Chains A and B, each alone.
Chain A
């Protein structure tokens, strides 16, 4: 029984870590701008594509990774400046539509550049190697991901709680207008948020695509949505919440992928039910349930509208 479940659990933890790195970008941006950055998943995908093209240019792989992360951060910064900043005083629907427009644009740009073909992600030494742990044979990246995720989240939480820019971020997410009056440079705080979020999505993309090995223009859509669900699940605006949510969703999704086999081994079903297909749908069902029962998520704060 355990031997059946373990491989799914392990890859669940790994994917969960990758979702967590994307989810942080969603949750931080939402915390400050109250915007679902629909383009964030596509930034994650673009990070993968940039890596593919950089590796093909013959640069050393370690340099590619560094440049890729820098490029991803710059892309995140640029998107905010071009597509969101001009709409800061516009109704919320406008900025959300703009985010959808950016998502559409990024996907079409990548479609144009790649010709819509699957791109093979470069093999990064060591983390692409296979290892066997107990009953599971997997890549090293599966084990590295959760550890790296926890380290990065720890660093981020330290940054938010113990640095000046972190304090500014907390202030802005508590009260946008007042912090502006207090002399906080809103624009630089927002930009920092996008840079950090995109950088982490870049790290996530390196780990994710090492695991899944191909990138295409739609590769970011589903992980992006799931990471967003994770952020909502954990209580949007809360970094630790997003991480916990991401791990839960990653694990649940992978267990469902193996549900047929697990149920079969347990003797509960006699033939496969084709349940694996619901691994994505489950995430969204979870989202709707959470929103209906506890819209503020696991760690979110309640707010009251003023009339």
Chain B
């Protein structure tokens, strides 16, 4: 078996009587781009939230590089190497582009409140700022560094959210519908960007997406869920020809 990064085992997520994710298992290996697709309300984002600690799974296990991270807080999970973006963009609205990315560096501080307040951590603060500048240059956002993050055009905001996630130094990047609201050209660029950062940052990527062109183009493997259950798994061309998947997307053949 190749290097396993994320291992999800029999994950179940229940809200009252509603089972949003039902006994779901999956594996992601190092360097892969894996997509999770399914109709609206299939439980994709819920699965993300259970992996990142926003929700506590009802049952099941989540392992990162062999370490059990089930039930940890979101910040602990981020510290262990999972960073994410959100379906509805969640940038820090009172901050500039630079500060948004800089904030993600807080995670790697060694200073405490006292030393940071009284500027006894000059070297660290300098390192944080330099790293942020370098990162912004690397992804071509440096010219926009002093703009307010929320005043950027929509596509740039999506991009910035990914960059902010990168700044936390993740091994695994979770992208929740990164192409939502983008035009075809922006979507293409996004696909290129995701592939590029995978190489440059030595990443593994787990992505939820509705743009099928994008998914088929960049994914190494695809998982399909419906009503919280896995209905298919495989390489893009396998998924494209899978009858269950086609049924799910066309509204289910049984009832019709």
Residues of A within 8 A of B (CB): 304, 307
Taken together as a complex, chains A and B put the C-alpha atoms of A304 and B54 apart, in Å, by 11
B15 at the interface (CB under 8 A from A): yes
B49 A307 Cβ-Cβ under 8 A: yes
Give every chain B residue within 8 A of A304 (Cβ-Cβ).
15
Residues of B contacting A307 with CB < 8 Å?
A: 45, 49, 54, 86
Closest A residue to B86 by CB, please name it.
A307
* Shortest beta-carbon distance from B97 to chain A in Å: 23
Q: How far, in Å, is B53 (CB) from chain A's closest CB? A: 11
Residue of B nearest to A304 (CB): B15
Task: Report the contact-size class of chain B (Cβ under 8 Å from the partner).
Answer: under 10
Give A97 to B131 CA distance when docked, in angstroms.
40
Interface SS of chain B: helix, strand, loop or mixed? mixed
Q: Chain A residue with minimal CB distance to B15?
A: A304
B212 to chain A, nearest CB (A): 24
B54 — which chain A residues lie within 8 A by C-beta? Answer: 307
Determine the chain A residues whose CB is within 8 A of the CB of B86 once the complex forms.
307
- Chain A residue numbers with a CB within 8 Å of B15 are 304
CB distance from B228 to the nearest CB of A (A): 16
B 103-128 binary contact with A (CB < 8 Å = 1; else 0):
00000000000000000000000000
Q: What residue of chain A has the Cβ atom nearest to residue B48's Cβ?
A: A307
The contact sample of 5 A-B pairs, CB cut-off 8 A, is A304-B15, A307-B45, A307-B49, A307-B54, A307-B86
Quote the shortest CB–CB distance from A270 to chain B (angstroms).
49
Q: Which of B1-53 contact A (CB under 8 A)?
A: 15, 45, 49
Q: In angstroms, how far is the closest chain A Cβ from the Cβ of B51?
A: 12
B207 to chain A minimum Cβ distance, whole angstroms, is: 17
Q: How far is the CA of A95 from the CA of B219 in the complex (A)?
A: 47
Taking the closest CB of chain B, its distance from the CB of A284, in whole angstroms, is: 30
Min CB–CB distance A305 → chain B (angstroms): 9
How far does the Cβ of B178 sit from chain A's closest Cβ, in whole Å?
Answer: 16
CA distance A307 to B49 in the complex (A): 8
When A and B form their complex, which 4 residue pairs have the shortest distance between CB atoms, in order from nearest?
A: A307-B54, A307-B49, A304-B15, A307-B86
Which residues on the A side are within 8 Å of B45 (C-beta)? 307
- For residue B49, which residues in chain A have a CB less than 8 angstroms away from its CB? 307
- Report how far A304 CA is from B46 CA in the complex, Å: 12
Closest-by-CB residue of A relative to B74 is A307
Determine the distance from Cα of A243 to Cα of B226 in the docked complex, in whole angstroms: 45
A307–B15 Cα distance when bound, in Å, is 14
For residue B161, give the distance in angstroms from its CB to the closest CB of chain A.
14
The chain B residue with its CB closest to the CB of A305 is B54
* Min distance, Cβ A189 to any Cβ of chain B, angstroms: 27
Chain B positions 61 through 87: 1 when the CB is less than 8 Å from some CB of chain A, otherwise 0: 000000000000000000000000010
Question: Given the complex of chains A and B, what is the CA–CA distance between A304 and B55 in angstroms?
Answer: 10
Shortest distance between the CB of A302 and any CB in chain B (Å): 9
Closest-by-CB residue of A relative to B45 is: A307
Bound-state CA distance A307–B48 (Å) is: 10
How far apart sit A304 and B15, CA to CA, in the bound complex (Å)? 9
CA distance A307 to B55 in the complex (A): 10
In the bound complex, what is the Cα–Cα distance between A307 and B53 (angstroms)? 12
Q: Taking the nearest CB of chain A, how far is it from the CB of B14, in angstroms?
A: 11
Instruction: Name which residue of chain A comes closest to B54, CB basis.
Output: A307
Give the Cβ gap from A4 to chain B, nearest Cβ, in Å. Answer: 48
Docked CA distance A307–B86 (Å): 8
A219–B92 alpha-carbon span in the complex (Å): 43
Return B78 CB to nearest CB of chain A, in Å.
15
Return A263 CB to nearest CB of chain B, in Å. Answer: 45
- B94 → chain A, closest Cβ, in Å? 12
Query: A156 CB to closest chain B CB, in angstroms?
Result: 29
Instruction: Give B189 Cβ to nearest chain A Cβ, in Å.
Output: 27
Closest residue of chain B to A302 (Cβ to Cβ) is: B16
A12 to B86 Cα, complex, angstroms? 52
Instruction: For the complex, give the distance between the alpha carbons of A307 and B46 in Å.
Output: 9
- Smallest CB separation, B86 vs chain A (Å): 7
**Chain B nearest Cβ from A296, distance in angstroms:** 14
Complex alpha-carbon distance, A19 and B124, angstroms = 56
